Amino acid sequence: MKRDIMHRGGTFAILCLAMLLVTAAFGAGSAEAKFPAKTMTFVIPVSPGGGFDTFARMLVPYLQKHLPGNPNIVVNNAPGGEWNIGINKMYRSKPDGNTFAIFNWPANAVSQILGTAKYDLNKVTWLGNISEVTYVMCVSLKSKYKTLQELQKAPEVTSGVVGLASTAALGTIIAAQAMGIKMKPIPHDGSTEAILSAMRGDVDWVQYPLATLKKTIVDSKDLIPLWIYSKKRSPLLPDVPTVEELGYGELAEVVTMYRPVGAPPDLPNDVKKIWYDAFWKATNDPDFHKKMIAANEPAMPMTPEETAKMITQGINMVARYKELIQKYTK
C-alpha cells in the first residue's frame, strides 16, 4: 500500500528532524569557506507563511539535490524593515555562495529608489528566478462600481493595500494613475485582511496574485474579477479580460511579480558557475514543476543573465514612478 511506503519515509524524516532542530535552533554557523559548505543559509526576508516562504521552502529540496555534495540548507526567516533586514543580512554575508536570499520583484526596488536601502541590487549575484506571479484586479460584490468605466467616473474608489510605504501597493497606485481612477488606499497589515475587507464591502478594490485569490473568485465567487495583469487570459478565468485588451498593455509588465533568488556581490567565478548550473537544474526539475503547478503558481525559471536584465529594467521602471510613490508615502 502507498501509505506503508510513505510511512517509512516519514518516520525516517522525523528522525532527521531532531538533527534539523539542533542546526536550526543554534544557527549552524559554519566557519568553512568552501562552497558548497555542509550547511547553507537561505534567507527569507519575510515571516513564515505566505507565498515567498512557501515557494522558497518548496525549492529547498531541489537545490539540495542539484548542488554538489547535497548540502543541508537551513531556511532563515529574517523579516522586517520592508525586506531590508533580510536583504542586508544576505548582502553583507561572506561572498562564498553559502548564503542566498529570495527577493520580491519589482517591489524590492522601491527602497533603493527612495534611498532607504543600504545595498545595490545591480550588484547582487542573481542566480535565477522561481516563478512569475500574475495579479488579478477584483472589486467587492457590494461595490457601487463594477466596470472600468464606472471606476473611472467614480469620485473616490477605496482600495485595500498592504502598508503604504510597502511596495505591495505599488501596482495599485500605478494602475490607478494609468487608468485615471481616483483611488484612496486603505492600509492593511496583510493581503488576507485586505481581501476580507473587500468581501465585507468595506473597500471597493483589491488586487493580489491569482493563486491567492483563486479560491475567492473562482471557487466561491466572493469577489468580482475585472481584469488580469497579463498579456493573455488565464485558463482559470477565461472570461476576464487582460489589461492589454482594455488598452493598458504596459501595465501587464509593470504589475507582475517575480520571485528571483540572489547571492552577495562578487562571488568567485567558480562558485558562480556551480550555482548557475545547480539553480537552473533545480528550477527546471520536473518534480518541482509538478509541485508548483499543484500550488497554482507554475514555475518560471530564468537564466542568471535574464534575471539580471529583469532587475535592471525593474529598477528603471520603479524610478519612473518615484514621484508617484513619494506622494503616497509622505
Binding site residues, another protein, CB under 8 A: 2-3, 6-7, 9-11, 13-14, 16-17, 20-21, 24-25, 27, 47-50, 53-54, 57-58, 60-61, 75-82, 84-85, 88, 158, 163-166, 184, 186-190, 192-193, 195-197, 199-200, 202-203, 214-216, 219-220, 222, 291, 294-296, 328-330
State the nearest-atom distance from the C-beta of 198 to another protein, in Å. 11
State the nearest-atom distance from the C-beta of 258 to another protein, in Å. 19
Dihedral sign of CA atoms 205, 210, 212, 214 in order: positive
Residue 178: Cβ-neighbour burial (10 angstroms; 0-12, 13-18, 19+): middle
Helix (H, G, I), strand (E, B) or coil at 230: coil
Q: Which residue's CB is nearer to another protein, number 140 or number 242?
A: 140
Q: Which residue's CB is nearer to another protein, number 215 or number 232?
A: 215
Q: Which residue's CB is nearer to another protein, number 87 or number 228?
A: 87
State the nearest-atom distance from the C-beta of 136 to another protein, in Å. 15
Q: Which residue's CB is nearer to another protein, number 135 or number 248?
A: 135
**Residue 86 identity:** G
Q: Which residue's CB is nearer to another protein, number 194 or number 271?
A: 194
Q: Which residue's CB is nearer to another protein, number 125 or number 158?
A: 158
Q: Which residue's CB is nearer to another protein, number 172 or number 307?
A: 172
Residue 64's alpha-carbon distances to 43, 259, 300, in angstroms, are: 15, 19, 19
Which of 307, 310, 312 is CA-nearest to residue 127? 307
State the nearest-atom distance from the C-beta of 238 to another protein, in Å. 18
State the nearest-atom distance from the C-beta of 182 to another protein, in Å. 14
Q: Which long-range contacts (CB under 8 A, 24 or more apart) does 251-255 make?
A: 251/174, 251/175, 251/178, 253/317, 254/106, 254/171, 254/174, 254/175, 254/229, 254/317, 255/135, 255/171, 255/174, 255/175, 255/207, 255/229
State the nearest-atom distance from the C-beta of 329 to another protein, in Å. 5
* CB neighbour list of residue 78: distance below 8 Å, 6 or more residues apart: 43, 44, 45, 85, 86, 89
State the nearest-atom distance from the C-beta of 283 to another protein, in Å. 17
Report phi then psi at 309, rounded to 5.
-65, -40
